[in-house]
Amino acid sequence: FVRLFEENRDLLNLFEKFQTLKTKESQMESMELAEHASLVMTSLDEAINSLENVDYFIEYLHSIGKLHHKVPGFHKEYFWKIESPFLEAVKETLDERYTENMETIYKIIIKFILQTLVEGYENSSPGNKEGLTSKSVEINVNDVPNES
């Protein structure tokens, strides 16, 4: 998670309480950042575990997307910046159990999650009179780049 902020300093600056964390060391020692990282990872875990109940999955992620309107300066494109660090974390966690098939599965899952977060963010924007809807979200396996 620290890697996300190392590579995207602009994200760290969105949060007033994290703006003083200029070095990797200060980021790794910050309890507040660790709590936020835990919240993000718990949310991703909850989403993955709720895939069997698609209605709940979509509603849950839409609500998280909507919450990001409260972060001044946040843009929907920022959701996508977690994709690479998430996939790297999965690879490190699974270690030798990480296969090409697992890589494909997790790429599809994270794209589905992030696209649903963006949808929740967009549908809850102040200018959107329709509000949240349960539009279908499609991820094509062919859209997942092969980074081998």
Q: Which of 48-52, 125-129, 143-147 has the highest mean pLDDT?
A: 48-52
The reported pLDDT for the residue numbered 128 is: 59
Domain map of the chain by residue range? 2-143
Range name among 31-40, 88-97, 131-140 with the lowest pLDDT average: 131-140
The rounded Cα 118 to chain-centroid distance in angstroms is: 10
Whether the pLDDT of residue 26 is over 80: the answer is yes
The yes/no answer on whether domain 2-143 falls in CATH 1.10.1740.10 is no
How many residues belong to the chain?
148
Q: Binning pLDDT at 50, 70 and 90, where does residue 8 land?
A: confident
Helices 100-123, 31-49: crossing angle, 10 deg rounding: 100
pLDDT at 55 over 60: yes
pTM, rounded to two decimals: 0.79
Nearest to 89, CA basis, from 133, 145, 48: 48
Is the pLDDT reported for residue 54 higher than 50? yes
Q: Cα–Cα distance between 139 and 148 in angstroms, integer?
A: 20
